[in-house]
Amino acid sequence: MGLLEILTIIFVICKLIGVISWSWWLVFLPEIIAICWYVFWIVIYVLCFKKTKKELYKWDS
């Protein structure tokens, strides 16, 4: 678990016990940021793998 996931858990608990009165999208914003970060790195990985795969086939022919 990273910092953003821990922050999300803390914010959800605080929201449920009434310590904060933020809207739910603000409570889950750290998790949304984490998901976007993970998706970004997955896209980078897929693009690099695709490029590497093309270069490997280039050498085969």
Please tell me the distance from the alpha carbon of residue 10 to that of residue 34, in angstroms, as a whole number. Answer: 15
Phi-psi region of 18 (alpha: psi -120 to 50; beta: other; left: phi over 0): left
Q: What percent of the chain has pLDDT over 70?
A: 82
Please tell me the distance from the alpha carbon of residue 16 to that of residue 10, in angstroms, as a whole number. Answer: 10
The pLDDT value recorded for residue 47 is 86
Please tell me the distance from the alpha carbon of residue 8 to that of residue 48, in angstroms, as a whole number. Answer: 31
- The boundaries of the domain holding residue 44 are 3-60
What is the average pLDDT value for the chain, to the nearest integer?
Answer: 87
- 33's CB contacts (< 8 A; 6+ apart) are 4
The pLDDT value recorded for residue 60 is 54
- pTM tops 0.75, yes or no: no
Candidates 12, 6, 17, 13; CA nearest to 28 is 12
pLDDT digits (tens, 9 = 90+) for 5-32: 999 999 999 999 999 999 999 999 999 9
